[in-house]
Amino acid sequence: MKTNVLPLAILGLVFTLGINPASAQIKLNSKSIGAAQKGLKAATFSDADAAKLAKEAVTWMDANNPVAAANDPYTVRLNKIFSKHKNEGGLTLNYKVYKVKDVNAFACADGSVRVFSSLMDIMSDDELLGIIGHEIGHVANKDTRDAIRSAYKRAAIADAASSQSGVVNSLSESELGTFANALLDSKYNRKQESEADDYSYAFMKSHNYKVTALASAFQKCADMEKASGAERTKTEKMMSSHPDSGSRAAKILEKAKKDGLSK
């Protein structure tokens, strides 16, 4: 089994966090996805299809990565700050902590939220809520569904004529790892990132959380980017299409000031 670097940087992770290849731990599979994707018609790809495939991929990742136990301090902390949000924005959410060195988090179309312990190490409770809110925004805005559909469409092009069923089949064990990798490799554009930022801000505001914590989370990412300097990782370069973390922090602070939530 191949160990890859998670290609998402947080908040789009998608704050654009750099991930050190030497320390990456998340387990993914490098085998080809294969025939399950052949002949898929993008037009028939529904929310239910995306949720089904996302659930299969996350179940595989849970089985192949170190998940914090119920009594683990990381799980206890996440329960404390997030348990009341299991049903948020019409979504039914489930969440776990991966005890890995990668600094990341993600949410999937089935409502799965996975937070990495190294991210929790550097973020406050409110900052984590802002990050998770952003990831939930990608689900609520259908970004994750569209990303799965796009990945399937790309993989199915060569064999599109081999099947006309348009049915989304379950993936085999040998296919799940690669699909999980493709899922995490999804890239969101600037508009999607900005809309997810707005969703997170509204989430924080509606629950009376400190909205400026979202800005401070972005600023921490900006500081990490600055510290990396010329040694920017491949992941950081790949995420260069995302809005600058410092600019995103400033935008959040400006909005908070207009709302009377920051001086």
Q: Which residues are catalytic?
A: 135
Query: Would you state the structure tokens that stand for residue 96, as one six-digit string?
Result: 């776990």
What is the dihedral angle through the alpha carbons of 220, 221, 227, 233, rounded to the nearest 10 degrees? 160
Ranges of H-type helices in 66-124: 73-82, 117-122
Q: Are the C-beta atoms of residues 82 and 114 closer than 8 Å to each other? A: no
Structure tokens at 226: 């600055």
Helices 47-64 and 173-184: angle between axes, nearest 10 degrees = 100
C-alpha dihedral, 144 to 146 to 147 to 153, nearest 10°: 150
Q: Residue 116 pairs with which residues in a beta bridge?
A: 98
* DSSP states of 127-184: HHHHHHHHHHHHHHTTHHHHHHHHHHHHHHGGGGGG------PPPPHHHHHHHHHHHH
Let me know: does 199 contact 137? Beta carbons within 8 Å: yes
Other beta carbons less than 10 A from residue 121's beta carbon: 10
